[in-house]
Amino acid sequence: MSQKIVAVKGMNDLLPGEIEIWQHVERLTRELFGRFGYSEIRTPIVEDTSLFVRSVGEETDIVGKEMYTFDDKAGRSLSLRPEGTAPAARAYIEHSVLNQEPLTRWYYMGPMFRYERMKTGRYRQFYQIGAEAYGAKEAAQDVEVMDMVTQFLQALGLQDITLNLNSLGDEACRPAYYEKLVEYLKAHREELCGDCHRRLETNPLRVLDCKNEACQAVAAKGPSVLEFLCEPCRDHFDDVQRKLTALGVRFVVNPRMVRGLDYYTRTVFEFVASHPALGTASTVGGGGRYDKLVKSLGGPDVPAVGFACGVDRLVLLLKESQQKFAATPDLFIAVADADSQDAAFTLASRLRREGLRVDFDTRGGSLRSQMKRSDKSGAAFTLVLGGQEFTSGQAKLKRMAGGEPIPVALDDIARTVRAQSGAPQVAPAAT
């Protein structure tokens, strides 16, 4: 007997019963982000490795430890994308989008890949929804993005999610903070983990992002970046806070938050959930401003701001919310005798063209077994058809929630089902 093949560890199947939650999140994304004027893009899953080395940062854990990188048959180093901002920026540059429109708003959704230590809500193939806005340096653009995420999470019905806000300054004021931070961290070097010893030499901000409890305790007592902001960065951060307050978007200033990628400048933010279903993976989304990323990748000097949400974590929260997402059939057609199977099959096809969700057991079988399937499907109505019904052109709709059967003409089934369920009328599909 051959060995059973299973999915790659950390890369999960999404099956009916759960996929409906994902589809709900995706539908809401398209509808709500469209209100804000964002258009969908789709970038390749595989990119040139140098894209992530130059954008995310060579010293980050993502590039140093977590990327799925390989040489293709032409000897090129390629990587499965670990995040979505760098590919979007690459597409923005490659297609000369700046020459087409001065302000560009995009969103994306799809799988990302990182070879991480797995835990609840953290997988090696994971899914993100994100958005990028190019061309606006003003605080209003930062706030628009955060407002969009806030409305998105509220529309999903998620509660107890806190917006954490910080500013990392820019190239004018960050060096002074770096100097003071390095001085402080070196004085506490023995309290830091081995990874942070390396980070201290290559990128001190990464120490603040370490998940080691001892390192977090050291970071909590270190200098605050907000004390070093230059006047333009301070004014920008103040303006962000004023505009969030004006919109009624609640937030807390968290001066220890730095995010995990190298390209951020000025505003950074995270949406953090308190639900125990996520365990330690409590951040459901985050982002910030990256005004120098496009230029660093060979493009024009264009400011930008964006975010990404982890769909896997949103789905975990939605599972706990007791909301119902599964789309059940409007109608189940059962066949009373084998001679009526073909006619019932034809009727099911017609009703689907007329816009109904119709379940039909193509295997046939006993009426009893078909009725069991109807119960299991969750159909709103069941229609039992046999020779008598097809001869008379009349049948009876059984409401599965209970109640008297409803007489119906076979030519009027779709309208009757919608009328009884309160669903809107749908134009028939073109034939």
Please give the annotated binding residues, written as ranges.
83-85, 114, 128, 132, 259, 263-264
Q: What burial class does residue 249 get, using C-beta atoms within 10 Å of its C-beta: 0-12 exposed, 13-18 middle, 19+ buried?
A: middle
- What is the 3-state composition of the chain as percent helix, strand, coil, each rounded to the nearest 5? 40, 20, 40
Where are any strands of DSSP class E within 72-191? 77-80, 104-113, 125-134, 161-167
d(CA 430, CA 251): 50
Q: Look at the block and give the residue holding tokens 């004390």.
A: 227
Binding residues for L-histidine: 83-85, 114, 128, 132, 259, 263-264
- What's 323's DSSP letter? -
User: Please, how many CA atoms are within 13 Å of residue 171, restricted to the half-sphere of its CB?
Assistant: 6
d(CA 351, CA 429): 10
Q: What are the two backbone dihedrals, phi and then psi, of residue 235, each rounded to the nearest 5 degrees?
A: -60, -40
Task: List the structure tokens of 361.
Answer: 């057991």
The answer for 313, left when phi > 0, alpha when psi is -120 to 50, beta otherwise, is: alpha
Q: What are the two backbone dihedrals, phi and then psi, of residue 374, each rounded to the nearest 5 degrees?
A: -60, -45
What's the one-letter identity of residue 267? T
